[in-house]
Amino acid sequence: MVERRTAKKQVNMKTSLGRTILGVFCWFYAGISLYPILWLLFYSFKNNNEIFVTNPFGFPRVLRFENYVKAWSEYSVPVYFGNSVFVSVATVFFTIIFALPFSYAVSRMKWRGRGLVRIIVSIGMFIPVQAILIPVARIVNGLNLSSSRFGLILPYTGINLAFATLVYYGFFVGLPAELEEAACIDGASVFTCFFRIIVPLVKPATATLVIYIFLNAWNEFILANVLVVNERLKTLPLGVLFFQGAFTTDWGAMGATMVMASLPTVIIYCIFSKQVENALTVGAAVKG
């Protein structure tokens, strides 16, 4: 009896030690992961001398809020910010609108050639952006969209469509067919089954795609740099370039701009984080 208690006590001590080591490692990893964000925040409140010479890594000695004022008032950040928000939100909307019915059609309906069509769309995931720059630019110019925000929205939608259809296809395949069969017995049409039964069940996938597509559109630089010719239509990643001058660069204002550029992505993730956790399991799609 005493030996059992001793053995049990040793096991508990090992378990406690293991949890302590794991907790220390997790806190250490969290600190390493969060430090770049804190460094960017500190960076946005410093001047050039403090950033590069006197205090590159520490807390700013003086909180220079004028960096944010300068970035917002002197460098057209509101215009670039509004363009990025419009383009990113529109890209998310059109990608979801197109991917949902397409994925439903190829996964839940029986028609000739559906497998081939799905493979053709999925191939888009393996085509790098650099390979389609010239064709996309010619198409956008041919449609006279180079002076419109849709000159970015349409290519962004096409690029993200392949991944979105793949994610939705995996969720649709995992849903039981009895859901639609029961609805059809009750007299529901195909559109009623799709909008009232299927779409609510794939909310976790939709939330995941909203974050993924928004981040892709928000941070995209290569296509935007080639396709956008109108100064007033530039997005925020392009606007950061204007902080770099021929002889000097306002690094503090640039840091303030990058902090403001990071806020929408953080807000989007906080809103949809619970759904993203549910999306880690296919079974969560059925549970809602």
Is 163 a domain residue? Answer: yes
For residues 14 and 141, membership in a common domain is answered with no
273 vs 20, which has greater pLDDT?
20
If asked whether residues 108 and 28 sit together in one domain, one would say no
Same-domain pairing of 203 and 72: yes
Judgement on whether residues 113 and 248 belong to the same structural domain of the protein? yes
Mean pLDDT of 22-44: 85
Residues 127 and 182 placed together within one structural domain of the fold? yes
pLDDT confidence of residue 157: 93
**If DSSP codes are grouped into helix, strand and coil, which group holds residue 249?**
strand
* pLDDT one-digit tens code per residue, 161-190: 999 998 898 888 888 877 777 877 777 777
d(CA 235, CA 78): 10
Q: Around Cβ 27, how many Cβ atoms within 10 Å?
A: 10
**What single-letter amino acid sits at 169?**
Y
Mean pLDDT of 187-206: 82
**DSSP E strands: which ranges in the chain?**
none
Can you tell me the distance from the alpha carbon of 202 to that of 190, in angstroms, rounded to the nearest whole number?
17
pLDDT score at 195 = 82
Distance CA 187, CA 287 (A): 24
Domain that holds residue 174: 66-287
Residue 159, in any domain of the structure: yes
* Mean pLDDT of the region 82-106: 92
Angle between helix axes 2-43 and 251-278 (nearest 10 degrees) is 140
Query: Stretch 58-73: mean pLDDT, rounded?
Result: 84
Residues 15 and 74 in one domain: no
55 assigned to some structural domain: no
- CA 218 – CA 50 distance, rounded (Å): 30
Q: Per this entry, what is the length of the chain?
A: 288
All residues at 6 or more sequence positions from 238 whose CB lies less than 8 Å from its CB, including other chains: 80, 221, 224, 225, 228
Same structural domain, 89 and 28: no
Higher pLDDT, 6 or 287: 6
The pLDDT tens digits of the residues spanning 205-249 come to 888 888 889 989 998 888 888 888 887 888 888 877 766 654 467
Report pLDDT digits (tens) over 103-148: 988 888 888 888 888 888 888 888 888 888 889 989 888 888 888 8
For residues 122 and 165, the answer to whether their CB atoms sit within 8 Å is yes
Residue 39 has pLDDT above 60, yes or no: yes
DSSP code of 75?
Answer: S
Closest CA to 253 of 65, 63, 122, 115: 65
Of 26-30, 107-111, 148-152, least confident by mean pLDDT is: 107-111
pTM for this model (two decimals): 0.78
What is the structure's pLDDT at 5?
Answer: 62
Instruction: Give mean pLDDT, residues 40-48.
Output: 86
Q: Record the tokens describing residue 143, joined without a space.
A: 């449609």
Distance CA 159, CA 142 (A): 19
Distance CA 259, CA 80 (A): 14
Please report which confidence band the pLDDT of residue 11 belongs to, taking 50, 70 and 90 as the band edges: low
Q: What was the pLDDT predicted at 95?
A: 95
Count of structural domains within the chain: 2
Average pLDDT for residues 21-44, to the nearest whole number? 85
CATH number at residue 135: 1.10.3720.10
Confidence of residue 88 (pLDDT cuts 50, 70, 90): very high
Q: Please indicate, yes or no, if residue 61 is contained in any of the structural domains.
A: no
Return the half-sphere exposure (C-beta side, CA atoms, 13 A cut-off) of residue 170. 16
pLDDT tens-digit map of 251-279: 888 888 888 888 888 888 777 777 666 65
Tokens of 282: 């296919």
Place 74 in a pLDDT band, splitting at 50, 70 and 90: confident
In this predicted structure, the answer to whether residue 7 has a pLDDT above a threshold of 70 is: no
